[in-house]
Each structure stands twice: as structure tokens, then as C-alpha cells.
A and B are shown apart, each in its own frame.
With several copies, the nearest count.
Chain A
């Protein structure tokens, strides 16, 4: 194939001399389904083993085989893991995107590509390393079936040589990746080694990029948000998971399948977690509502289209006060949108999901650690508040691999909430002389519930989505309706004290604040450093759940300017903040990206710098 470049050729590469160590991004462009996932994982694991902080972003198409996919690995000695828009190194293995991939390199960048390709034009300001991929694989005498997939190991070997990863570490990483299985690991390693040696003999290193061992990853783990969510849920006492497959949420349930053995009854070998693949999302959410009503800790995981389909049922659960947990791993919408691209576009919709006056709790994890923590905590909250709890993660957080401290064991025992089992009901009735399902005995808006199966003649009550009074009896009376809604309102207020509170870095001397939530956190943290280096000091508040609390409002009001950074198009958190803040809030500036990609620090920095350096226009 012939790679055609646009003609705006930059300055000739001038053999940059200053070495760049552990602070650049390597991007691998391949075709989907070609097996590059494995080689990329080997690369990232190797760097991790070298003690270098790493971040990974997988940009893949909605397709099973053949369309372009990009995997970028950021090494950052300073520990930044957000996406960078620019990659210094491109491993261009997909002829369909090679021209673009090369075009996107910065001056001084590096391109590794198959030797076999022909060229239209060349950029003169970058370095090329041409690699005989086919030959190398052929020489390795790999069984024909494996040849295609294994050819990705060629670039692993070349990169190892060029950027200084030891073969030993690669071997270890291969073993990790293949779950300790020697045979496939060694077959792959054979190709890596061959490529490594070929590169040593045939390539002259002229670029400045290099990895060097550090000690920043010891004791840390590498894991995806969805796996973390699955584990958190398993440690949270989940007993029912019902789901319908949808990208990018499927791997939450895959994680549950992978680790449910942790909860398998050791005596009988039977499962304590029911995993039901439903026929669609309406059924999935119906199942967890049925299960939650019966007393299970029940979860579903889905994405935007599924959320839309769940709207009616979620309203029922809200109004009938049934606990359940719904993970929304968001992708780009509206509509089917881009299933394999990230976004935070469901926020406002989740918050007000279902017709009528409804309002929901939405947890907003920002890290794999929080995915784990909110994984178990969501059940405690749902049971305590007797309501559906949403956890909004996103494709970036959920499907990419992230570095993290090991997860902390839940510091609190499982909280079943106000459930009256047989004896408790007995005790309750002897104390109060009565028990009514929807009566607010504790003035916190939260009533006591019983579970079906409770062997007590007064345990039963009637659950319905229609009007009811305190006694759970059908009622069309206006007063009953209003009283019930008032109690639900109070319950929501109680909830706002129980949900994860915002994380704040505040110093009264600073006049600029940044607010964000979810997976933007690393980009914001990095941007703050960049801004500070440029003389713009910022305070920071990260919202960890809806409804908003007074802290958030105070934070907004206490600044001269507050930037709301989020990854959707409409600036939905900004809108929610406006809904909650009646005071003049023209100093609140929406930085809403929504360009389908994970947030970058550079974008945030550029926006804030631009706006701070010139008078802010009213938005």
C-alpha cells in the first residue's frame, strides 16, 4: 500500500538531543480484532513492572474485526494518567490510518511502521523506523493459525529495544498477560525476542525517548473500572445481577462472572450470586426491582439506551421505594451514538429519570478505587434509603486500565437499612403498637419495610406504583398523595447527607475554582498543575454524588470564577448547579467538552487560560 501524506511538510527532523525519559506517549494503531490488545497489554504491564506510572486509552471502533483502533500508553514520571491529545510515538500498523497517524505526530515524533509499505510523501521532521514484520514472524516458525495475531509482538520487541525495556520484564509481563500459561507466553516471547534482536542489529536509535526504571508503582495495581465495579459489588453483598449486554457496560457483568467464585459457597459449590441475562433492559431492571423488593442486593449495568428503556420501571422503584443499584457506563449519545466512545452525557437524564416528579441519587466515581468503593457502598445506600441508586461511570473509566492503590476493605459492615425481619417486626409493633409501611417514624423520610417471606401475620403489605397512604393502602386522596411526596422529598434530603460528599482542595486566598466529577479528575488535577505553573492558582471541588450538597453551593459562591469541567455537550452539571443556585452565578463558566474522547489537561488549561487572560463573557 502507498501512504499518502498531506503536503504541509514541517521542518526536517534535527536529531533532538535532550533525552526524554518516562514522559511521553506511545500510540499503537492497528485493526480491530487483530490481537493487538495482547501486545498492548504486555507493553503497559512492562512499564508498570519497571515502576513507571502509566495510563492507557483504548480507542476502538464499534465493530468486531477490521476497523481502525488506537491504543495509547502514556508514561509519566509525575504520575499523570489523563489522556494526552498528542502522542510522540506512533506504531502505525494499520495502513488505513497510517497517513493520518503520521500526520498527527508532533515534530520530532517517532513512527514505527512495517517495512513492506510504500510511500507517497514523507514528513521530514520525524523519525521513522521501518520494521520487517512479516519476515520476523515467518522466521519465528509460529504455527500458521497464530501468525496473524502474534505479528503484533514484533512491535513489542522493537519498542523494547528502542525505548529500553528489558526482555526479562517483557517475559514477565507476557506471563502475567497469559495468566501464567508458559506455552503461549513463550511462543509470543520468541517473536518479541527476535524483533528485539533484529532492532538491535538493524536500527540506529536517533530519537530522544526512553524508559527508565522508577519506583512509583510498587504496591499498586492495574485494573479497569468495570472490573473494580464488579469486585466492589461482590464485596458489597450483591446477590442478584440481571443485565442485557451493551457496550461499554458488558464488562461489569463479565467481571462478576470472572470473580463470582469468591462468593461461591465453599461447602456446596453453589452460587450466592444469581446472574441472569435478561431479554432486554426493561426486563433486566424489572428483575432487580423484583429482587430488591424481595430483599436481595440487586444490580444491573447498562449504558444510555438501556437507561432510556428503564425509565418507567425506575419511576416505579422510586415511588414504591425499592432498593436496587444501576450502573450506567456512559457512552456517547444521544441515541445509539458512538457506543465505543466516552461521554458523561447521561447525567441530567439520570438525575430526573422517569415521568412525574422524580429525583435520583447518582454516584459519580472518578477512579477505579471509587468504582470499587461505590460498588459496595451503592448497596448500603440503596438499602438504607430504599431507592434506586445510580452509579454513573463511563467508558473511559470503565474499560480502560488504570493504576491504583489496592482497594481498601469496606470499613463498615453491610447495612441492610430499615428492614424488619420477624423478631424485629414483633419488637417494633410492641414498641409502637403498629407498623405501617410508609409511615415516617424517624422523621428522616425513611420508613420501615418488611420482606416477603417474613413469618408474621402483620408483615404483609401491598406494593404499588399508584397512590397510597402511610398504611400502603390504595388512595386517591389528594392529602395522601401530597404527604407521600413530601416524605419522599425529605428522604431525598436525608440521602444528601449519606451519599459520598465532595472532595475539596480549598484555600480562601484563591479566587478561581474548578468543579468536576467522574473520570475528568486526572485531567483536572494535571491542568491545575499546568495552570499553577503558569501563575493561575485554583481551588478544586470534585462532586461525588447527586443530589448536590450545600458544600458545593458554597464553593461556587465563594469564588470569583468557577469552571465546571465536564465531558458532555450541554454542560449538564452546570445546568444542575444553576438549578440549585438562585444567586447570581454568572461567574460560573461551563467547560463542556463532549467530543467523544477522554478529557485532556491541555484542553482544560487552554480554556481556563484563555478565559482568565481576557474578560469572561457572560455565557
Chain B
């Protein structure tokens, strides 16, 4: 069925994946494709960004009609900052890995969220370096064992907690085995105006899928605790809205209204978590760390804060589209200026 742009789902595909069969990253690529198709994303405005790693290869495997930039290891955030600053109309969708983001790229990651660069930032988190064959990453759990590299005795970094502390305005965690949740969160993320971080546990079937690893499929399937049930209601989607609300009890739902008029409707589950509270978000993550809980869902959402382009007070016209006369002051201006140096 063609979407609003008249495109089929297959139009949103990319090249065939060269990842290991069963790799968690591939199912995320699939959800990105579905999201983009459902949301009728204009592919020419999408830029796909990544660093280096198995995860960072995936932009080749979705939305083949979008420009893409597979950068250097860990430094994609600065590419994203530059590109979205240059052209505010671009929709940036970035994929990174736990090594790419949590090790070599940690500083850039933190400074990106601080600047609130408008983009979707997906971390395909498998707790291991896939592409270099199975070393520990900074999100590997304390006590985790790997085939070759033995035991990890360092505490693991929680990238969601890091993002919230660092000033991110949209922070979610998911599991690549939970297709529906991944997709809903992606839709919300792409509607968010600001940096949207989604940390998706995405098992590496080749190097880190033993059931005792908490980045594995078996573990994820068994232990995932979704914080909410979700519906994503795109902007302008009026009709069935009422129907959806009917499902939920009073007081148990939260409507998060996005910048563009879309909403995510959350039905609170056990934890009763309200993602609009930074305090709650931090607390729940700290607790999850302590009690080794695998909480998924929208952890934190901040009313649109100023994005970088606004902080910089840039023109509404993308900088890349400025007419030549706005790029060079007149000869007269130069001459006057020269006078002032005489």
C-alpha cells in the first residue's frame, strides 16, 4: 500500500545486509524502514549518519534513496552537528554502536546531547565490539564473560542515564527483539525536535549471545520490563484518536505531545513512570542499575528545548540554500570597512 508520498515500503529499503544472519542490528534496520514508510518520510531530506562498527554499517541497509555518511569511529556526532547546522531542513537519523558511542565517541556523544542537535540517535547496543571480533565495550556488564577476552570486571556505562544527565531531551531504551516498541519509539523520536536518544539492546549473535549475557536474545526476551504501552499518533491523525484513548484507564495514560503535533500516548505499567520527570527518570535508571532490571520504553522527555540552530540564531533559510548575495557583503560594505581600519 503506498504511503502519503505514494511510496511502497520497499522503496524505503537499502542494499542487502552483510551482517551475520540473526544479528540484532538487522531487525532495527527493518523497523527504521517501517517507521520511515509509515511516517512517509521524504527520503531526500533524510541523512543517515554513522561511525564505524557493524551497527554503523547499517545505514547502507535502509533508505537507499537518502544521502548517507559513514564517518570515522566514534565521531559521527560532530558530523551530525555540522550537517544539521548547515541545513536545518535535513532529518538526521544516526546509527551508532556501544563501542562507537560509549568508548571512543563518548565525549562527542555527551556534547551532542548538551547542544540538543536535532536528530535521532540510535545506539545498537550489544555490549561488545562486533566488527573487531568480540572485545568488551564500555556497556559490557560487570561480571560478563566473553569467549576470548574472559571476564569483565569494570562497571558498565548506562548510556541512557548518561544522556539524561548530559542534557538530552528525549531518551528511550528498547530491545531489538521488541519490534513494536522499537518502531513506536522511532516514530516518536523522529517527531521530536531535539536530540532523541534510543539505546536499543541489539544482540550480537556471533560474539555475545550467551544466555547469561544481559545483551543476549534469551536474556532480553526473558527480562524485558516495558515501562509503558504505547501508541504513536502522528500529527494530523484525528479520526481514530478517540478510539485509541478508549483503551486506557483514567490516570494511567500520559499524552506526550510532540513539537509537530504528534503525540505518544503512554499507558503506565508497573513502575508508573512519568517520562516528563527528569528526577524520576534518573531514579528509575539508578534503581535499574542496582537491581539489574532491564527497563525499556520512553525514559525521559523534555518539552522542546531550544535546538542548536536556534541557539545560534540562524536564518530560517538553510545556510546551504542562501542566495549568493547573502553570502558576500557588497563592495560598498568592504570599502566602508576598510575606512575604519585607516
A residues apposed to B, CB below 8 Å: 33, 62-67, 219-223, 231, 234-237, 239-240, 242, 244-247, 250, 254, 257, 259, 262-263, 265, 268, 270-272, 274-298, 305, 312-313, 316, 320, 335-336, 376, 406-407, 409-410, 413-414, 450-457, 459-466, 474
Contacts and interface: CB of A to CB of B under 8 A. Distances in A.
Contact of A474 (B60, B71, B83): B60
B103 A279 contact: yes
Given A33-B20, A64-B206, A452-B67, A289 B338 contact: no
B78 A239 contact: no
Contacts of B314: 270-272, 274
A236 B334 CA distance: 12
B45 to A, nearest CB: 6
A58 to B, nearest CB: 14
Nearest to A450: B67
A296 B18 contact: no
Contacts, number: 269
B82 A286 contact: yes
Contacts of A290: 69, 78-86
Contact of A453 (B45, B73, B107, B331): B45
A63 B90 CA distance: 30
B206 to A, nearest CB: 6
B324 A65 contact: no
Q: In the complex, which of the residues A236, A239, A414, A461 has the most CB atoms of chain B within 10 Å of its own CB atom?
A: A239
B108 A279 contact: yes
A570 to B, nearest CB: 21
Given A244-B104, A452-B83, A277 B133 contact: no
Contact of A466 (B70, B107, B315): B70
19 contacts: A64-B130, A64-B206, A219-B342, A239-B320, A240-B82, A245-B132, A280-B103, A286-B78, A289-B71, A290-B82, A293-B82, A294-B90, A298-B86, A376-B328, A410-B328, A450-B67, A452-B87, A453-B318, A460-B43
A440 B321 CA distance: 26
B51 to A, nearest CB: 10
A296 B82 contact: yes
Given A246-B132, A272-B319, A463-B67, A262 B331 contact: no
B52 A280 contact: no
Contacts of A281: 104
A289 B20 contact: no
A294 B315 CA distance: 16
A279 B20 CA distance: 25
B182 to A, nearest CB: 22
A280 B79 CA distance: 14
Contacts of B322: 239, 272
B142 interface: no
A512 B104 CA distance: 49
Contacts of B135: 245, 250, 277
Contact of A295 (B73, B320, B342): B320
B78 A287 contact: yes
B301 interface: no
Contacts of A231: 337
Contact of A409 (B73, B130, B327, B331): B331
